[in-house]
Structure 1
Amino acid sequence: MTVDSLPLQDLERMAFQASPAPQMVTAHRRMLDCNQAFVRLFGYQRDELRGNLTLLLYPSHADYQSIGERSEHWLKAGPGAFYTDERFMQHRNGEVFWARAHGFTLTLDDPFKLMVWHFERIDRQPAPTVQLTAREREISLHIVNGLTCKEVARQLGISHRTVEVHRARLMKKLQAKNSAELVSKIIFIS
């Protein structure tokens, strides 16, 4: 069998899987399928992604929620079916990276019903808007990785009260109302 004799549907499927651009297809923010470039970008196996919410790829639930609201609003009110932004995404190994996302809805009346997404990793980070001290930056790295104040204190060999004071300062500096928002804002300035 030659490529010329393959049905169009098979050729389209091959093109999607072999495309160098990381792509996924979603239905109501649930991953229906993705290509090999997408698998390489995020570090998951294809079967681990299919059927899961895209929440799996975000560093925090707050990011997932806010980006979802922003993109849905844009797609419903905007001039067309395209949405583009830059955001943090998370690799399977926990690494958070800056990415450009392009979404195209196939259902304008209900944008999240069926979408095609393309991602590209961006090596540059946005300039931080808040300056942290060396100790605040050190503690923030542990907070982002889910450690409690006591666990951070043990890791750094300091009092948990000292960690609590630094965490409170981080909350104030970053204007975070809760832990999830704090993690999201720390990731943004990192």
Structure 2
Amino acid sequence: MFDTSTRAKAAALAFEESPVAQLMTRYRRIVEINRALAGLFGFERDDLIGRSVQKLYPSTADFMRIGDQCEEVMRGGKSRYYEDERFMQASGGEVFWARAKGTTLTPDDPYELMIWSFEKIEGKPYRSVRLTAREKEIAPLIGSGMTSKQIGERLGISHRTVEVHRAKLMKKFNVHNTAELVSQIVVAV
């Protein structure tokens, strides 16, 4: 049998050396990360500890939307778990498709303390490309099936501006129509 001190050290070592990319958050601020997460996102530990998890999202809109979805699922004790597939962003600006799984350790206040795991999804028909800040906002909305007019209204820009960005995205993803573009940027809604 392990004594309490040995068990605590073993648990800390297990978290640090886990092959699964994991982080702990308190009110959506990063409390701790493991080596696998640092490798997946390309950040050093000191770059993330104490920072908002927004640093790992390609846009503020994604950060807000996914946060609202997660809270809706967990609030009121509906569930302790949340899972989705989403765009994430590495330190060099590379946007990639990932599976995220989170669990709260404080069901009465879900965001008080959570553990998250992330897995890069290689099999998705999504190619990593460099996107501008506006493209990072527009791409998930296109992927969720919104029209240029709906996207423009949501973002407070004209539908023609959205169409210009849609055309640039199509060129970056090397596709010829919106259906092919959506297949590249599918977003779990």
- Per the alignment, residue 176 of structure 1 pairs with 151
1:12 aligns with 2:11: yes
- Per the alignment, residue 56 of structure 2 pairs with 57
- Per the alignment, residue 32 of structure 1 pairs with 31
Residue identity in the other structure for 2:88: M
1:105-144 superposed matches below 5 A:
105-125=104-124, 144=131
Say which one has the larger Rg. 1
Separation (CA, whole Å) in 2 of partners of 1:179 and 1:47: 36
- Per the alignment, residue 91 of structure 1 pairs with 90
How far did 1:5 drift? 11
How far did 1:77 drift? 4.8
Separation (CA, whole Å) in 2 of partners of 1:92 and 1:179: 28
How far did 1:123 drift? 1.5
Separation (CA, whole Å) in 2 of partners of 1:73 and 1:146: 27
Conserved 8 A contact 2:77-2:107: no
1:147-186 superposed matches below 5 A:
173=148, 175-177=150-152, 178=155
Aligned length: 149
Separation (CA, whole Å) in 2 of partners of 1:43 and 1:98: 15
Aligned to 2:151, the other structure's residue is in SS state: coil
**Seq. identity, %:** 40
Query: What is the aligned-residue RMSD (CA, Å)?
Result: 3.2
**What TM-score results when the alignment is normalised by the length of structure 1?**
0.68
Residue identity in the other structure for 2:11: E
